[in-house]
Structure 1
């Protein structure tokens, strides 16, 4: 099948990886086949953040929350490594607050918030609340949706 890989010119990956991503979307209705293409794209690129973000979205919308979480965690780890971010939250938080408008840090915050959402979907509510509270403490504009998720997770049944 011939595809137009120029549609994804912003992806810094080879045309064969772009083709695999396109094939994953074109075969969306056949989950087994489309997942095979997505896995092949991931295998060829390792931890390319563009492909990881595409894979996260793919797995999330396919309701494969375990792989969506794994992918979000890979994005987080990749950015931590590249940006040399500390593991300790007390040291990390001021860095994130100061740099939250930078594209890589925004991606980190988005991936971290997404991991909270997926953890909630997987029933890990305490972990989801913890992550959402951390992101909400940084995100005064609610750009990352963590405040909304935290409100949902902590709302009492009487408030429904």
Structure 2
């Protein structure tokens, strides 16, 4: 069995699976592993599985701008595929109604991830806005936006002396 057969759920050509495996195998050498991730992205365009893998790669490599760009591409891909509206007031009821569907969960996960990355990048107000929106949909806190919002809005602790 080829190593890439472990990723049979990935709906990408074998050569792209090999590039993703090479990126993982070369994790310690960032420039080499990033080269493989970028090649996989170039070969597949906006394949959702590769975008998710790239998001995770960039996030864990602390390349937050690329992680943000990739998370936004995931959102755009889902919005286009599902014909979701841009306006929050029109989008919100659709997300609430369909929040258990895998594709909508993917959208909400990537949107919440965008909030996390914005917070890391110091863009707290934008992060809070996203967290508030996700929290309106996410009554079970599946996407972590409520926790992040709590961290972002918690008053600084006073020193007990």
Shorter-chain TM-score tier: over 0.9
**What CA distance in whole angstroms lies between the structure 2 residues aligned with 1:19 and 1:80?**
29
Corresponding residue for residue 51 of structure 1: 50
Residue 42 (structure 2) pairs with residue 32 (structure 1): no
Output one character per residue of 1:80-134: Cα deviation in whole Å (capped at 9) or x when no partner: 0000000000000000000000000000000000000000011110000000000
How many residue pairs get aligned? The number is: 158
Q: Give the superposition deviation at 1:153.
A: 0.4
**Other structure's SS at 1:120 match:** helix
Corresponding residue for residue 77 of structure 1: 76
Output one character per residue of 1:2-44: Cα deviation in whole Å (capped at 9) or x when no partner: x621010000000000000000000000000000000000000
Q: What TM-score do the two structures reach when normalised by structure 1?
A: 0.97
With over 3 angstroms needed to count, the CA separation of the structure-2 counterparts of 1:159 and 1:9, relative to structure 1, is farther
With over 3 angstroms needed to count, the CA separation of the structure-2 counterparts of 1:107 and 1:158, relative to structure 1, is same
Output one character per residue of 1:55-89: Cα deviation in whole Å (capped at 9) or x when no partner: 00000000000000000000000000000000000
Corresponding residue for residue 99 of structure 1: 98
**Deviating 4+ runs (over 3 angstroms):** none
Residue 121 (structure 2) pairs with residue 122 (structure 1): yes
Corresponding residue for residue 15 of structure 1: 14
Give unpaired runs (5+ residues) of structure 2.
Answer: none
**What CA distance in whole angstroms lies between the structure 2 residues aligned with 1:142 and 1:19?**
35
**What CA distance in whole angstroms lies between the structure 1 residues aligned with 2:83 and 2:101?**
14
Corresponding residue for residue 132 of structure 1: 131
Q: Give the superposition deviation at 1:158.
A: 2.9
Q: Which moved more, 1:125-134 or 1:3-12?
A: 3-12
Q: What TM-score do the two structures reach when normalised by structure 2?
A: 0.96
Q: Give the superposition deviation at 1:159.
A: 7.2
Corresponding residue for residue 85 of structure 2: 86
Aligned Cα root-mean-square deviation (Å): 1.1
